[in-house]
Structure 1
Amino acid sequence: MEELRLYPVGHIRREGKRVFVEILPSYRPALKGIEEYEYLYLLWWFDQSQDPHSRERLLVKTPHAHAPQRLGVFATRTPHRPNPIALDVVKVYWVNHGKGLLRIDQSDAWDGTPVLDIKPYVPGCDRVERAGTPAWHQGWAQSRAEKTK
């Protein structure tokens, strides 16, 4: 099996309900220009789900009321996956370049979770108009704005 190496660029930090991304000192120059984006993709490691059993699970029970009882992990957002990589779209409130801190609106990650990468969300490249989803998923929020109401 081919081995890949990943290195965290920072970690999630939580202070009560406030969520931050703390970038490691050696990666702080990579923040240049990031404050010009309102939203970012945050890729992080599901470090609480990296045991061999979680990584070997290919089918999971679904929490959705009208979904099939079991789905393949690639059809879900479960933390149990061959490579426990998570993706959030986050709103950026502010950036402190000197301290390597980004204040973000939310993340499912725990305090101390390793952050693998950050990428800008660019609507012209990333937004998909009328993206199709399974019928059982139709009752869910159709946008971030609707989700956070």
Structure 2
Amino acid sequence: MGDRPEIRAGEVALGHDPGDTPDAGITFIGRIRSPWSRGDCPKNIGRARETGQGARIELAPEYAQALTGLSVGQPILLQYWMDRARRDLVMQAPRHAEGPRGTFALRSPNRPNPVSVSTVVITALDPEAATIDIDAIDCFDHTPVVDIKPWLETVDAPPA
């Protein structure tokens, strides 16, 4: 898995990498172009918005028609694969919390399947070039895109 960060006190790793035995295949539909790399990436989408730095989604050309119906100003659910995250941690020791927590109790990218999701806003759209500019993102440059869905208030907002 490349340069894997050290385990912090209280963290527990599996004895294997779940990515070594996949159950299903995922097709990456494009890449995110962001200004971020290891060491300077915001920890979440809220912090990413505070920087004022936007990002771009570059889809594979064959997905250009799939942008039909999207528009500038529209929020979308962007699902992306944190390809440089650890996949073997079941307990993590986040710096922002008192004591270790289970992976499923955190929004950390370190998880068995490092799928992240953020609600982002379309700031520019070029269907011919298969690109979407977005208001912000909290991932490294060239992060693979898994899927894009429209954010719908009647479906995606939790009940009052």
Q: TM-score, normalised by structure 2?
A: 0.71
Match of 2:34 among 14, 20, 43: 14
2:122 maps to 1:122: no
Alignment of 1:16-35 (within 5 A): 17-35=53-71
CA distance in 2, matches of 1:127, 1:100: 28
Q: Which runs of 4+ in 1 moved over 4 A?
A: none
CA distance in 2, matches of 1:32, 1:19: 20
1:71 partner amino acid: R
- Per the alignment, residue 43 of structure 2 pairs with none
2:38 maps to 1:4: no
2:100 partner amino acid: R
Alignment of 1:1-149 (within 5 A): 3-14=23-34, 17-35=53-71, 38-49=74-85, 54-64=86-96, 67-130=97-160
Aligned residue pairs total 124
1:107 partner amino acid: I
For structure 2, the 5+ residue unaligned runs are: 1-20, 37-52
**Residues 47 and 2 (structure 1), Cα distance of their counterparts in 2 relative to 1, 3 Å cut:** closer
Structure with more of its chain in helix, by fraction: 1
8 A Cα contact 2:54 2:137, kept in partner: no
CA distance in 2, matches of 1:99, 1:2: 32
CA distance in 1, matches of 2:56, 2:68: 17
Shift of 1:14: 2.9
Q: TM-score, normalised by structure 1?
A: 0.76
Q: What per-residue deviation string (whole Å, max 9, x for no partner) do you get for residues 98-117 of structure 1?
A: 00111101111111110000
CA distance in 2, matches of 1:78, 1:18: 21
SS in 1 for 2:80: strand
Question: CA-atom RMSD, angstroms?
Answer: 1.9
Shift of 1:28: 1.1
Q: What per-residue deviation string (whole Å, max 9, x for no partner) do you get for residues 15-53 of structure 1?
A: 69331001111111111101176100000000111xxxx
CA distance in 1, matches of 2:54, 2:106: 27
Q: What per-residue deviation string (whole Å, max 9, x for no partner) do you get for residues 57-92 of structure 1?
A: 10101232xx44111111101111000111111011
Identity %: 30
